[in-house]
Structure 1
Amino acid sequence: MTGTGSTPSDAAVLRHLEALVAQPSVFTASDYTAITDYCETVLRQTGARCHRIASARPGRAGLFASLGPEGPGGVLLSGHLDVVPVDGELWTSDPFTLSPRDGRAYGRGAADMKGFVACALAAFEATAGNTLAAPLKLVLSFDEEAGCLGIAEMLPHLNPSIGLADLCIVGEPTEMRLVTGHKGKASYRVECYGGSGHSALAPTLPSALHMAADVIGILRRIQAELASAERPSPGYAVPHSTLHAGVLSGGVALNMVPERATLECELRYLPQNGLDETERCLLDEIAALADRNRADFSREDIGIEVTRTSHYPGLGTGLSVALQDYLLRLGADGVAGPVDFGTEAGYLAELGMPVVICGPGRIAQAHQPDEFVALDQLSQCSAMLDRLVDSLATGGPDLCGAP
């Protein structure tokens, strides 16, 4: 490989990043457990206690790992192993071959978020054989890009395996700044069932596409209500909860009234407001729409079914003075506040641990052709984890007053 770091730690990070990028762990693949195998092999060689979690969905597996004293406490690092597809993207190099050049390392997942995972693996290697007063822990999940499905499966096993931590750092790309919040998200599939027939009789038949269009109208009306009713939350590009219709399909021919239509939509909600009330309002309005259609057409065989297809909670970490102080001393590059993209952090925070997001790279590079992470960002992250290990050797974080 051309292009190496300036320290042994930097070289180890690039070595691991090269191996991780070479694993095409696209979340739509039927099986990408080879990347979990690689990480487990590396971690076991450091002496870490590893707990592999096989998914209920075939071809996926996650890991918990821990070095140092057993049980609760210490610091938990969190990353996901899956990446988005490269189909249709125009890359100037092989997306699954790490290409370091011009101060950057190119490859699918380099920023989101194999760069951080590589730094974590190198930190475990550097810690091997050392005595820690508080444990260094790691969770590596799967299917994050599918809506944080993997971490939801794994979390019931965290406390029984390696124990909760005093602090969790989720290494999504933030340019090494501290991120303390993001919206939660729920996605839905709305199936509309109408009645087929000749389009010349369209007004007399229940069109599934018309019903789907009315559902979109409901989304837009609730969106307007949220924009006016919610207290704006500073730091977000859109300072209130949002509803969005992303995919609509239905119909087979122009001269036929469509019998079925499918709409995919999402709700992104402010963490302080929660999901329940807005979701209940949405579902109630859709149910009322279905009832009106059944009454208007005097048919009981038409209707609308709504399925929540994925969900992850929002994050709203109260950054205490002690917690902020500790992280800045480790090497975090200031406080960024909330961000507009979602992560697994909300799930981890629900366990009662203080959780922050801080990792190398820029989110603007994620999911893009020629995705890259800057080498100096990897060095900064590696140095931060080195200082974290030093802290754990003497007792771990003193977060008195942290939420």
Structure 2
Amino acid sequence: MATEQLAADLVRIKSLSGGEAEIAAFIASHLRAKGLSPKVDGRNVLCSVGKGKRSLLLNSHLDTVPPNSGWSMDPFAAKKAGGKLYGLGSNDAKGCVACMIDAFTSLDVKTLKGKVILALTCDEETGGQGLETVLPKLGKLDGAIIGEPTGLGICNAQKGHLMLKVVAKGKSAHSSYPEKGVNAIYKACEGIGVLRKMSFSRKHKALGLPTVAVTTISGGTKRNVIPSECEFIADIRSTPAYSHDELIRMVKKKLGKGMEVVVHSSRLVPKETSADEKIVKAAKAVLGTSVRGSSTMSDMVFVDCPAIKLGPGNSHMSHQADEYIEISQLKKGVAAYKSIIERFLAP
């Protein structure tokens, strides 16, 4: 019940990316009430327990995306019905945050050989002042658990994220004489058709094949003018089988000289942790399941140590109207996190 209530309290606090100050203050106060000494660093909350040479990071994010227009209820009401907790961020990832807090505060540090660092951070949905900026302050890490909704499945690999802006150039003309111009929107559509048919031959064991999706398109200035320029974003989810540089070259070759390809973002590379690493073995021993890959991006990309992505909830519910998490998953999440910590830092 305590974890369920904490998760509901977190859902009631609006924490869109960039606006996490209130939820950070709430969590810091909650941890102080448990006798701990958290630090609020910007819009991030940091707290550690235990001593020793080895250290384990627990990380999840405090921010959410904005609610979309399809909600049938108040996204901040934290409604409970049918064994589910509804609300913006309930699944992604305030359920994970609540479970990590309760697992962290229930640890018997005297039985641990090492330090546990809880870092609940901002800006995961947009990038910015979150985990990436906090990591240099945490010292050497021997392992990390990234709290994301995986149905308590163990993800030891995740796809990277490469974003390319493609610009199609044409020639403007009056729309009454389209033959006198070159319609850049038509050229962009041809390029999109090429990318839709793009295929890959090298399949990664855990992550499968890369994917390409066009997610935005913009072109034209006036209704009666043939557009001279049209641009679109190609969102590529990459695997270790292809470097980002290789993927960029492949896209440029496919599109040909008539398209300008500009790298919008390429720093979020794929991440993979060997199944032989201690953090993976600890999770497998606790949960009794095998590892798998994840198509979604998370702050796991930033940690320079063996890491897994694991948490209560279902990734397919993330960013959805009427988002929810199964309440039964919360109790299981606390138990899983606590047991993995204890096994990883066992004497």
Cα distance, 1:183 vs structure 2:
1.4
- 2:276 corresponds to 1:320: yes
Q: Partner of 2:66: helix, strand, or coil?
A: coil
TM-score normalised according to structure 1 size: 0.75
1:76 aligns with 2:57: yes
Deviation at 1:243, TM superposition (A): 1.6
How far is the alpha carbon of 1:193 from its aligned partner?
A: 5.1
1:62 aligned to which of 39, 44, 68: 44
Query: For 1:386 and 1:285, how far apart are their aligned partners in 2?
Result: 49
Q: What is aligned with 2:322?
A: 370
Between the aligned partners of 2:56 and 2:50, the Cα distance in structure 1 is 11
Q: State how far apart, in whole Å, the 2-side matches of 1:377 and 1:174 are.
A: 11
Task: Tell me, yes or no, if the aligned pair for 2:85 and 2:327 is still in contact at 8 Å.
Answer: yes
Give the distance between the partners of 2:210 and 2:89, measured in 1 at CA.
Answer: 29
* Maintained 8 Å contact 1:50/1:66: no
User: After superposition, what is the alpha-carbon deviation per residue over 1:318-370, rounded to whole angstroms, capped at 9, x for unaligned?
Assistant: 111754442234x335124112222221222xx1x111111111122222232
Q: Would you say the 8 A contact 2:237–2:295 is kept in 1?
A: no
Residue identity opposite 1:162 in structure 2: L
The answer to whether the 8 Å contact 1:74/1:397 transfers is: no
Aligned to 2:22: 34
Q: 1:241–1:74: structure 2 CA closer, same or farther, 3 Å change rule?
A: same
CA distance in structure 2 between the partners assigned to 1:133 and 1:175 by the alignment? 29
Query: In the aligned structure 1, how far is the partner of 2:346 from the partner of 2:110?
Result: 18
Correspondent of 1:188 among 164, 173, 184: 164
Cα distance between partner residues in 1 of 2:66 and 2:296: 18
Structure 2 counterpart of 1:32, which letter?
A: E
SS at match of 1:308: strand
State whether structure 2 residue 16 is matched by structure 1 residue 47. no
Task: Give, in whole Å, the separation in 2 of the partners of 1:262 and 1:129.
Answer: 55
Query: Which one of the candidate residues 331, 334, 341 is aligned to 2:289?
Result: 334
Residues 244-393 of structure 1 mapped to structure 2, 5 A cutoff = 244-253=213-222, 255-283=224-252, 288-290=257-259, 304=260, 306-309=262-265, 311-320=267-276, 322-329=278-285, 331-332=286-287, 334-348=289-303, 351=304, 353-388=305-340, 390-391=342-343
Report how far residue 182 of structure 1 moved: 2.1
Q: How does 1:46-125 map to 2 (within 5 A)?
A: 46-50=35-39, 52=41, 54=42, 61-69=43-51, 73-91=54-72, 93-125=73-105
Report the AA paired with residue 173 of structure 1: P
| Aligned counterpart, 2:123 | 143
| Contact kept? 1:235, 1:337, Cα under 8 Å | yes
Query: Secondary structure at 1:76's aligned position in 2?
Result: strand
C-alpha displacement of 1:172 = 1.0
**Aligned partners of 1:158 and 1:164 also within 8 Å:** no
Structure 2: how far apart are the matches of 1:42 and 1:272? 44
Q: Deviations over 1:359-388 (max 9, x none)?
A: 111122222232222222111111123334
Larger CA deviation: 310-319 vs 353-362: 310-319
Partner residue, 1:233: 204
Give the aligned residue type for 1:22.
Answer: R
Question: The residue matched to 1:41 in structure 2 has which SS?
Answer: helix
Gaps of 5+ in 1: 6-10, 55-60, 291-303, 399-403
Contact kept in structure 1, 2:103 and 2:335, CA below 8 Å: no
Quote the RMSD (CA, aligned, Å): 2.9
2:64, 2:125 → 1: CA distance? 7
Q: Residue by residue, what CA displacement relative to the aligned partner does 1:253-300 show, whole Å, maximum 9, x if unpaired?
A: 55421133231221111123221211133346668225xxxxxxxxxx
Q: Deviations over 1:9-63 (max 9, x none)?
A: xx1x223212210122223xx63322222223334554245251x4xxxxxx333
Q: Which residue of 1 aligns with 2:6?
A: 16
Task: Provide the C-alpha distance between the structure 2 equivalents of 1:73 and 1:48, rounded to a whole number of angstroms.
Answer: 20
Which letter maps to 2:6?
H
Q: Which secondary structure does the structure 1 equivalent of 2:47 belong to?
A: strand
Cα displacement (A) at 1:119: 1.3
CA distance, structure 1, for counterparts of residue 275 and residue 165 of structure 2: 36
Q: Which amino acid aligns with 1:77?
A: L
Change (3 A) 1:271 1:346: farther
Distance (Å, rounded) in 2 between the aligned partners of 1:244 and 1:253: 27
1:131, distance to aligned residue in structure 2 (A): 7.3
Q: Helix, strand or coil for the counterpart of 1:112?
A: helix
Amino acid at match of 1:327: A
In structure 1, the partner of 2:135 is 158
CA distance in 2, matches of 1:134, 1:311: 32
| Alignment TM-score, normalising by the size of structure 2 | 0.86
Say whether the 8 Å CA contact 2:164–2:261 is kept in structure 1: no
Distance 1:128-1:135 versus aligned 2 partners, 3 A rule? same
User: Structure 2 CA distance, aligned partners of 1:338 and 1:357?
Assistant: 9
Alpha carbons of 1:245 and 1:386: their partners in 2 closer, same or farther (altered >3 Å)? closer
Q: Secondary structure at the match of 1:288?
A: coil
Number of equivalent positions: 346
User: What runs of 5+ residues in structure 2 fail to find an aligned partner?
Assistant: none
Task: Give the Cα–Cα distance (whole angstroms) in 2 for the partners of residues 129 and 277 of structure 1.
Answer: 47
Distance 2:209 2:114 in 1: 40
Amino acid across the alignment from 1:384: A
State whether residues 64 and 158 of structure 1, in contact with CA within 8 Å, keep that contact through their aligned partners in structure 2. Answer: no
